[in-house]
Amino acid sequence: MNITSLHKELLHEIIKNSGQATKHTFLDSYLGNSNTRYAISMPKLRSVGKNWYKNQTFTSKEFFQYITSLIKAPSSTEKMMGGIFLDFGRKHLDEFDPAILDQWLNHLEGWAEIDTLCYGHFKVERVLENWSSWKKVLFKLNKSKNINKRRASLVLLCKPLTRSDDERLARQAFQLIDSLKHEKEVLITKAISWTLRSMVKLHRSELKKYIVKNKSSLPAIAVRETLTKLKTGRKNG
């Protein structure tokens, strides 16, 4: 299978369904990067990707090679398509090695690219079955000098925390947050808030204790939003 040729084929479909590519627009600071973007909405991008993918046949190895090709591409649109493809190829995720996340994240920048890759794709059952590998990767990302990887270490846990009350998830989340809670960058403080709020439903008791104990050292926005969600069920009351 020619991965490069298939990549070009999908890019042609993206361009055909979008407006002119842009760079350095007012969206740069909002999305957290200045990579080239094609003028295409996320729902349309998903639709283009889904329609293209259903006519393909990948082995698991080829599937992850293809995602790597997308993530290494110059445009933010292609990079985010790499994350979107994880939803289309869920059958391949049974063979997913989380160690590849460290490699992929070398090519991503800003919350939009990071979160599209890291949020919601991995079934909590599979994460827990391979917990030793996931734990190793999460710690490595958390200690990275790359702020994008540090954010990813938290975002990767947000969905699993809403799907399982396994204490390993909450314990890991608290440890990762503890190592980052001194940081002031919004990329991190908002990720801490998101992670804490993900624990409201299934880890409520542990979360309350953690907030009480660490209220003075956590980012103020994370404390405020978490307490509001504990009280009202919403981030903003």
42-96 pLDDT, tens digit per residue, is 999 999 999 999 999 999 999 999 999 999 999 999 999 999 999 999 999 998 9
Stated pTM of the model: 0.93
| Domains along the chain with CATH numbers | 1-94 (no CATH), 96-237 (1.25.10.90)
Tokens representing 45 are: 């991008």
8-38 pLDDT, tens digit per residue, is 999 999 999 987 666 655 445 445 777 888 9
Which residues fall within 8 angstroms of residue 190, CB to CB, at 6 or more apart?
A: 111, 221
Instruction: Give the DSSP per-residue string, 184-231.
Output: --HHHHHHHHHHHHTTTTTSHHHHHHHHHHHTTTS-HHHHHHHHHHHH
Tokens 């009280």 locate to: 231
DSSP 22: B
Which letter, b or e, does each residue of 134-167 get, where b requires 16 or more Cβ atoms within 10 Å of its Cβ? beebbeebbebeebbbbbbbbbbbbbbbbbbebe
188-206 pLDDT, tens digit per residue, is 999 999 999 999 999 999 9
C-alpha span between 30 and 220 (Å, rounded): 21
164-177 pLDDT, tens digit per residue, is 999 999 999 999 99
